[in-house]
Amino acid sequence: MSDDTAKTDKHPTGAPWRNFYGRLKGKTLKQSQQTYLEEDLQALSPGAVDWDANPERTPIDLNALFGDKPVWLEVGFGGGEHMVHQAAQNPDTGIIGCEPYINGVAMLLGKIRKAGVENLAVHPGDARDMFDVLPEASISRAFLLYPDPWPKKRHHRRRFVTAEHLEPLARVLKPGAIFRVATDIPDYVRQTMQEVPKHGFDWLAEGPDDWRNAWDDWISTRYEQKALREGRTPHYMTFRRKDT
């Protein structure tokens, strides 16, 4: 970091320093996955999201992307199975997914080819950069499915359910929008139930066992399958963005 950037706490592009602690790349991509990235990713771009392409943080044009369809957002789609499932079930909706792990992005692209769905856009990066450029009150539904658990107490502030993420999420959601969270970590349930309502959301408790019942339109994700194999219990929480 140069002295100047240290003083301003910003990148030379004007971007804030945003620490990302997850993985960006895993094992070597298959040739087919390289091809998906080279041939398909650009056409699925939601617009200028990255700081170097959009230093003014001009909001992206969701109408140009999806017409007047309601727009949903999935944060950290992993291998993309839930995103493609929802896109196929809801053709009258546009879904934007964010995922910095490039192997996951490549897996999603393979699934998009197979399913032939066309109502998706992909930001291969951090959801925080996406929040910057989404118009206020533009998103009708958001999914946070098995976010990175960060089990150690000193790492809890890295979790998604913190003000750094929840404030901009609340800003881009429409009043009444649904926000779904799934996790297999009991302490993540605790932090979610504590933090999300502080940022303008009501928890929709629909029954005593609400958080043990998956949603009707649910498809189990890769991470959930791993959690089940390892003996952990899924929890499902539904929130509604308050009317402002």
Ligand X SMILES: C[S@@+](CC[C@H](N)C(=O)[O-])C[C@H]1O[C@@H](n2cnc3c(N)ncnc32)[C@H](O)[C@@H]1O
Active-site residue list: 148
Q: Please say which residue, 203 or 218, places its beta carbon nearer to ligand X.
A: 218
Does residue 102 interact with ligand X by CB under 6 A? no
d(CA 199, CA 15): 24
Q: CB-side exposure of 121: number of CA atoms within 13 Å?
A: 23
User: CA-based angle 113:223:208, to the nearest 5?
Assistant: 120
Q: Please say which residue, 95 or 176, places its beta carbon nearer to ligand X.
A: 95
* Structure-token pair, residue 18: 């945003």
Does residue 77 interact with ligand X by CB under 6 A? yes
Site for ligand X in 79-98 (CB under 6 A): 98
Site string for ligand X, 187-226 (x = CB under 6 A): ----------------------------------xxxx--
Q: Give how many residues touch ligand X by CB under 6 A.
A: 21
Q: Please say which residue, 132 or 224, places its beta carbon nearer to ligand X.
A: 224
- Residue labelled with tokens 């150690």: 152
User: CA-based angle 151:26:131, to the nearest 5?
Assistant: 65
d(CA 150, CA 22): 10
Does residue 179 interact with ligand X by CB under 6 A? no
Rounded least distance, CB 2 to ligand X, Å: 25
CA distance from start to end of the chain? 40
Q: Please say which residue, 158 or 242, places its beta carbon nearer to ligand X.
A: 158
Give the residue among 35, 22, 113 at the shortest CA–CA distance from 76: 22
d(CA 118, CA 147): 26
Does residue 108 interact with ligand X by CB under 6 A? no
d(CA 3, CA 26): 33
Rounded least distance, CB 67 to ligand X, Å: 25
Site string for ligand X, 33-62 (x = CB under 6 A): ------------------------------
Rounded least distance, CB 126 to ligand X, Å: 4
Q: Please say which residue, 101 or 239, places its beta carbon nearer to ligand X.
A: 101
Contact 112, 82 (CB under 8 A): no
Q: Annotated binding site for S-adenosyl-L-methionine, which residues?
A: 74, 99, 126, 148
Q: Which residues contact ligand X (rule: CB under 6 A)?
A: 22, 75-78, 98-101, 104, 126-128, 145-148, 221-224
